[in-house]
């Protein structure tokens, strides 16, 4: 059976990989992308919609039958956003709003990038926001919900994040030492993470699951990462 996908965050590291893979996947007859700015990409199965996430409404999504699968890869940093409130708006509120509208339109499966250590009770603001996002998406009642909690994500970012680059380099060097409880903190290539998200929804297993490093390897056993589709910055 063919499916249709709704993707947010296509201009980011993981989102670009998701877009490239979804457009090549014969199981999807349409890939709708919600973006703040147009993508430098054309494809017969791509439905690109430039939107204002702060004002997002039902008319911004495809008409029935809407997307069956939702992929959430929105993300920023507090430095890029400018404040904690602006960061929460992107990483939590926009993600939840997209998920809510898609669920109302009939979407049945959702996969969202979160973070290792996410939790509403975390003392760290970043992890608390991710945990609040997970709780809100879970409450929407999707038949299948998959949260992906990577640590450092490897790949060339559309915009340079110096701190993350240094952290990823250090994590790569230390990865062999990350064993036992430390395995979820191993870095993962963006392409492998994207492949794992698509594979998880393809399984069609009802329920809510949290995926970490070892799940990424099991879902996407091939380490090769596809080159992301050409896309403009968000």
Cβ distance 145 to 157 under 8 Å? no
pLDDT at 225: 41
pTM over cut 0.85: yes
| Burial class (CB within 10 angstroms; exposed 0-12, middle 13-18, buried 19+) of 141 | exposed
Q: Cα dihedral sign for 13, 16, 20, 26? A: positive
pLDDT reported for residue 73: 97
> Containing H/E element for 49?
strand 46-50
Residues 6+ apart with CB under 8 A from 76: 86, 87, 90, 91
Of the given ranges (51-60, 110-119, 221-230), which has the lowest mean pLDDT?
A: 221-230
- Contact of 53 with 60, CB cutoff 8 Å: no
pLDDT of the residue at 156: 76
Residue 51 has a CB neighbour count (10 Å cut-off) of: 18
Report the alpha-carbon distance of residue 163 to residue 151 in Å, rounded: 14
Whole-number Å distance between alpha carbons of 211 and 45: 29
Q: pLDDT (tens digit, 9 = 90+) per residue, 62-113?
A: 887 778 999 999 998 899 999 999 999 999 999 999 999 999 999 999 999 9
Does the pLDDT value for residue 157 go beyond 90?
no
**Residues 127, 163: Cα–Cα separation, whole Å:** 17
Angle at which helix 190-203 crosses helix 13-24, to 10 degrees, equals 50
Provide the pairing of β-strand 207-211 with 144-148: parallel
- Report whether pLDDT(233) > 60: no
- For residue 195, pLDDT over 60 is answered with yes
Which residues, in sequence order, are CB contacts of 163 under 8 Å at separation 6+? 77
Categorize the per-residue pLDDT at 176 as very low, low, confident or very high, splitting at 50, 70 and 90: low
What pairing do the DSSP bridges indicate for beta strands 69-72 and 46-50?
Answer: unpaired
| Least confident stretch, 12-21, 110-119, 156-165, 182-191 | 156-165
């Amino acid at each position: 059976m063919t499916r249709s996908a709704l993707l947010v965050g296509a201009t980011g590291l993981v989102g670009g990989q998701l877009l490239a893979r979804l457009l090549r996947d014969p199981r999807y007859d349409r890939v709708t992308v919600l973006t703040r700015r147009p993508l430098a990409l054309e494809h017969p199965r791509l439905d690109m919609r430039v939107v204002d996430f702060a004002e997002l409404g039902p008319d911004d999504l495809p008409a029935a039958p809407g997307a069956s699968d939702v992929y959430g890869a929105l993300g920023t940093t507090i430095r890029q956003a400018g404040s904690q409130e602006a960061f929460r708006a992107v990483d939590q509120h926009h993600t939840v709003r997209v998920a809510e509208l898609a669920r109302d339109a009939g979407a049945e499966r959702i996969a969202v990038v979160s973070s290792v250590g996410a939790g509403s009770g975390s003392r760290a603001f970043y992890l608390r926001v991710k945990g609040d996002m997970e709780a809100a998406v879970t409450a929407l009642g999707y038949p299948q919900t998959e949260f992906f909690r990577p640590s450092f994500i490897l790949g060339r970012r559309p915009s340079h994040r110096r701190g993350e680059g240094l952290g990823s380099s250090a994590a790569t060097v230390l990865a062999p030492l990350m064993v036992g409880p430390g395995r979820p903190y191993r870095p993962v290539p963006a392409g492998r993470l994207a492949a794992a998200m698509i594979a998880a929804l393809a399984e069609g297993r009802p329920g809510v699951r949290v995926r970490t490093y070892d799940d990424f390897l099991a879902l996407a056993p091939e380490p090769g990462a596809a080159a992301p589709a050409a896309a403009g910055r968000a």
